[in-house]
Amino acid sequence: MKAVVIQGPGEARLVDIPDPSGGPNDALLQVRMIGLCGTDLNTFRGKNPLVTFPRVLGHEVAATILDPGGTPQNGLREGTAVTPAPYTACGQCASCLRGRPNACRSNQTLGVQRNGALTERIMVPTEKLYSAHLSLKELCLVEPLTVGFHAVARGSVTARDTVAVFGCGGVGLGAISAAAFRGARVIAIDMDDAKLEIGRMAGASEFIHSGKDDLHLRLSELTDGRGPDCIIEAIGLPQTFRASVEEVAFTGRVVYIGYAKEPVAYETSLFVQKELDIRGSRNALPEDFHEVIRMLEGGRFPIDDVISAVVPIEEAPEMLRQWSATPTAFTKIMVQVS
Ligand SMILES: [Zn+2]
Ligand SMILES: [Zn+2]
Are 116 and 58 in contact, with CB atoms under 8 Å apart? yes
pLDDT tens-digit readout, 65-108: 999 987 666 689 999 999 999 999 999 999 999 999 999 999 99
pLDDT tens-digit readout, 130-172: 999 999 999 999 999 999 999 999 999 999 999 999 999 989 9
**So what's the pLDDT on residue 109?**
95
Residue 36 CA to ligand 1 centre (angstroms): 6
Ligand showing the shortest atom-to-Cα distance for residue 106: 2
Ligand showing the shortest atom-to-Cα distance for residue 140: 1
**So what's the pLDDT on residue 328?**
84
Residue 87 CA to ligand 2 centre (angstroms): 11
Residue count of the chain = 338
**So what's the pLDDT on residue 73?**
67
Query: Is the pLDDT reported for residue 310 higher than 90?
Result: yes
Ligand showing the shortest atom-to-Cα distance for residue 141: 1
**So what's the pLDDT on residue 291?**
97
Phi, psi (deg, nearest 5) at residue 32: -105, -45
What Cα–Cα distance (Å) separates residue 204 from each residue in 128, 178, 180, 301?
31, 10, 7, 12
pLDDT tens-digit readout, 211-250: 999 999 999 999 999 999 999 999 999 999 999 999 999 9
Cβ neighbourhood burial of 264 (10 Å; 0-12, 13-18, 19+): middle
pLDDT tens-digit readout, 247-297: 999 999 999 998 888 999 999 999 999 999 999 999 999 999 999 999 999
**So what's the pLDDT on residue 70?**
76
Residue 100 CA to ligand 2 centre (angstroms): 8
Query: Is the pLDDT reported for residue 42 higher than 90?
Result: yes
Residue 27 CA to ligand 2 centre (angstroms): 23
**So what's the pLDDT on residue 96?**
98
**So what's the pLDDT on residue 53?**
97
Sheet holding 55-56, edge to edge: 11-16, 2-8, 55-56
Residue 288 CA to ligand 2 centre (angstroms): 18
Domain annotation for the chain: domains and CATH numbers: 2-131+307-336 (3.90.180.10), 147-280 (3.40.50.720)
Residue 28 CA to ligand 1 centre (angstroms): 22
